[in-house]
């Protein structure tokens, strides 16, 4: 598959099979991710790969964040809510947390470091698609909560930029809908 085909046919795949994904294939995706551009070649990304019982760390992160959001809840109601939150970590056989660890280079700008890490995620998504995997980039409030960062032992300056859920597709990709580039482009000549 050439790069233009991969870009045009990649879709967010939210339902994947429970089949395990070979570690060598995951490493291949991560190798593609690290070829993203970064200002001053800071390469601010890192990845936490969770498979099998390793997804339990993410499950606990979801539960901790959820419990903090409803301090008035207790007993069975709380346990039911936390159980529901924990299941989110097991929606795919592989979950990759993409983390931005900003460089100490004085020329580094946080927004550029985040953009570089996000570009690495896009490389990972394209590589997953090109290798027959389905993936979805998930974010949301729990990802940004300090308790989630604490769950993974991240440094204060580190930021999670996404959880990439991946596996073998178990759904038909949705039809693409895009506004043409011409509608979003201004030419200054």
Residues comprising the binding site for FMN?
10-12, 39, 137-139
Specify the DSSP element, H or E, that contains 64.
helix 56-69
Strand boundaries in 126-176, DSSP class E:
134-138, 159-167
Specify the DSSP element, H or E, that contains 86.
helix 75-87
- Asked if residue 117 lies in contact with residue 45, where contact means CB atoms within 8 angstroms, the answer is yes
For the beta carbon of residue 15, count every other beta carbon within 10 angstroms: 14
Q: Which residues are annotated as a binding site?
A: 10-12, 39, 137-139
Residue 45 forms beta bridges with which residues?
100
Nearest partner of 64 among 136, 160, 139, 143, judged by Cα: 143
Strand boundaries in 36-182, DSSP class E:
45-51, 94-100, 134-138, 159-167
CA distance 28 to 165: 16
């Amino acid at each position: 598959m050439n790069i233009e085909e991969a870009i045009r046919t990649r879709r967010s795949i939210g339902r994947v099979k429970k089949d395990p994904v070979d570690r060598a294939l995951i490493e291949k995706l991560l190798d593609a991710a690290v070829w993203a551009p970064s200002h001053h070649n800071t390469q601010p990304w890192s990845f936490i790969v969770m498979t099998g019982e390793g997804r339990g760390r993410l499950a606990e992160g979801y539960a901790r964040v959820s419990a903090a959001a409803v301090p008035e809840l207790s007993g069975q109601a709380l346990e039911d809510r936390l159980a529901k939150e924990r299941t989110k970590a097991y929606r795919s056989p592989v979950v990759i947390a993409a983390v931005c660890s900003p460089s100490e280079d004085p020329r580094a700008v946080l927004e550029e470091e985040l953009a570089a890490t996000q570009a690495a995620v896009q490389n990972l998504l394209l590589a997953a698609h090109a290798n027959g995997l389905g993936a979805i980039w998930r974010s949301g409030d729990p990802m940004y909560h300090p308790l989630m960062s604490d769950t993974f032992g991240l440094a204060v300056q580190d930021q999670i930029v996404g959880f990439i859920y991946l596996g073998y597709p178990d759904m038909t990709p949705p039809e693409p809908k895009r506004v043409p580039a011409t509608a979003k482009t201004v030419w200054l000549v």
